[in-house]
């Protein structure tokens, strides 16, 4: 049992300017209907706020996925039988769901190398420390990697002979639109070997009223998460957004089939972004889309797997069938 941390991020300062971030902000704010993608929200603080979201009682994707991990941990163990496993957890955050399974795998005396990968170095450092506290008397080996998904995955998926099992949990796949999710899954397939597995968490389409209550908590955690984007732009690009001048609201859009979060300007205001040398105007109550969470049906999930070189192994549902962790095997 060893517990290591590797930082593959290009530099360790998350507030330094970076070209892709600046370009994405420029393009998004220049559109007639302003829109910024949710990946911009994630740094150490963004990842921490997401962990608060996971604790919300109405945030059913987390509640249901927890239930799935508790109910189906033996199913998972049966699928891998006695193989020595390398579990690669993409966007692990604090990995509290994965830990339920790791505990079970350790009790079943399986050999596991656990590799959490997250863009937040802070989240990975904390996770490695808590894994060490919890699992130091077991055979678990841990290598935490701070990196972008594929940079980390490609660094580890081919270097060992163990079976790779990639986790992509928390409905994170839903933060990309359907074509981008297809490309992501194809790239996963490219990075893995014949016979490797993936388990992807999908939030299933359900009553839009339930979706509404999941993304509009009375505690205001979703608002804090979305407004963190403004802090990020202030820090990285020298902008002067005033967070108090915006509110957040999320709703299901039947056309895009996603829950879309918007932040609305509560005053008529102009924001200056010094690194872009530009000003952007927000009219009173003008909205800007900041996050989307695409919903799936089971046939869509199956098509996504089969069109990208995977065979379906098993769908693990919660008792209400609100969420599914779908397990696929790489066919080459
Ligand atoms: C929606 S949260 C899911 C966290 C956890 N897997 C769960 O199910 O609760 C997404 C996580 O992915 C990380 N993340 C976001 N974009 C990333 C990227 N491009 N590469 C690596 N990690 C990323 C975030 O820091 C965050 O911890």
Residue-wise pLDDT tens digits, 206-218: 999 999 999 999 9
How big is the chain, counted in residues? Answer: 332
Ligand 1 mean position to 54 CA, how many Å? 12
Cross-strand bridge partners of residue 307: none
Average pLDDT value for the chain: 94
Q: Which of 240, 252, 174 has its CA nearest to residue 206?
A: 252
Contact indicator for 125, 44 with CB cutoff of 8 Å: no
Q: What is the pLDDT of residue 18?
A: 82
Cβ neighbors of 190 (< 8 A, separation 6 or more) are none
Which single residue is written with the structure tokens 């795998």? 105
Ligand 1 mean position to 305 CA, how many Å? 21
**DSSP secondary structure string, 210-265?**
HHHHHHS-TT-HHHHHHHHHHHHHHHHH-B---GGGEEEEEEEETTTTEEEEEEEE
CA distances in angstroms from 7 to 151, 251, 274, listed in the order given: 11, 37, 30
Report which ligand 1 atom has the smallest distance to the Cα of 50.
Answer: 2
Dmax (CA) for the chain in angstroms is 62
Q: What is the pLDDT of residue 84?
A: 86
Nearest residue (by CA) to ligand 1, atom 16, is 39
> Percent of the chain beyond pLDDT 70?
97
| Mean pLDDT computed over 125-132 | 96
* φ, ψ for residue 300, nearest 5 deg: -65, -40
* pLDDT at residue 190 tops 90: yes
Give residue 10's pLDDT band: very low, low, confident or very high (50, 70, 90): confident
| Residue 188 DSSP SS3 | helix
* pLDDT at residue 88 tops 90: yes
Nearest residue (by CA) to ligand 1, atom 18, is 148
* pLDDT at residue 264 tops 80: yes
| Residue 151 DSSP SS3 | helix
Cross-strand bridge partners of residue 314: 327
Ligand 1 mean position to 134 CA, how many Å? 22
Q: Is the CB of 42 under 6 A from ligand 1?
A: yes
> Percent of the chain beyond pLDDT 90?
92
Q: What is the pLDDT of residue 162?
A: 80
pTM assigned to the model:
0.95
Q: What is the pLDDT of residue 47?
A: 94
Report which ligand 1 atom has the smallest distance to the Cα of 93.
Answer: 27
Q: Is the CB of 149 under 6 A from ligand 1?
A: yes
Ligand 1 mean position to 267 CA, how many Å? 32
pLDDT tens track for 151-185: 999 999 876 668 999 999 999 999 999 999 999 99
Give residue 14's pLDDT band: very low, low, confident or very high (50, 70, 90): low
Ligand 1 mean position to 148 CA, how many Å? 9
**Number of neighbouring beta carbons within 10 Å of residue 216:** 17
Domains and CATH numbers, the chain: 22-40+50-55+211-294 (no CATH), 58-206+297-330 (3.40.50.150)
Q: Is the CB of 50 under 6 A from ligand 1?
A: yes
Q: What is the pLDDT of residue 103?
A: 97
Ligand 1 mean position to 150 CA, how many Å? 12
Cross-strand bridge partners of residue 166: 88, 198
């Amino acid at each position: 049992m060893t517990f290591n941390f590797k930082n593959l991020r290009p530099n360790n300062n998350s507030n330094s300017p970076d070209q892709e971030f600046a370009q994405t902000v420029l393009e998004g704010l220049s559109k007639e209907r302003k829109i910024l993608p949710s990946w911009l929200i994630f740094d150490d603080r963004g990842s921490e706020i997401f962990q608060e979201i996971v604790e919300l009682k109405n945030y059913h994707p987390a509640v249901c996925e927890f239930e799935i991990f508790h109910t189906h941990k033996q199913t998972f163990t049966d699928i891998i039988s006695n193989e020595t496993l390398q579990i690669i957890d993409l966007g692990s955050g604090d990995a509290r769901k994965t830990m339920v399974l790791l505990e079970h795998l350790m009790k079943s005396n399986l050999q596991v190398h656990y590799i959490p990968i997250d863009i937040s170095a802070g989240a990975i450092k904390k996770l490695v420390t808590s894994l060490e506290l919890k699992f130091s008397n077991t055979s678990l080996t841990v290598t935490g990697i701070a990196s972008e998904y594929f940079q980390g995955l490609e660094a580890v998926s081919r270097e060992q002979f163990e079976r790779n099992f990639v986790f992509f949990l928390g409905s994170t796949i839903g933060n990309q639109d359907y074509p981008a999710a297809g490309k992501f899954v194809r790239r996963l397939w490219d990075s893995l070997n014949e016979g490797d597995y993936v388990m992807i968490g999908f939030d299933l389409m359900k009553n839009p009223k339930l979706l509404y209550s999941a993304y509009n908590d009375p505690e205001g955690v979703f608002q804090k998460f979305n407004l963190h984007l403004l802090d990020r732009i202030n820090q990285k690009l020298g902008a002067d957004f005033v967070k108090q001048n915006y509110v957040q609201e999320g709703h299901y859009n039947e056309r895009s089939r996603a829950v879309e979060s918007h932040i609305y300007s509560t005053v008529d205001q102009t924001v200056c972004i010094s690194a872009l040398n530009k000003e952007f105007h927000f009219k009173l109550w003008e909205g800007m889309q900041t996050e989307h969470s695409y919903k799936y049906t089971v046939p869509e999930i199956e098509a996504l797997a089969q069109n990208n070189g995977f065979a379906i192994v098993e769908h693990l549902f919660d008792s209400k069938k609100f969420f599914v962790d779908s397990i696929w095997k790489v066919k080459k």
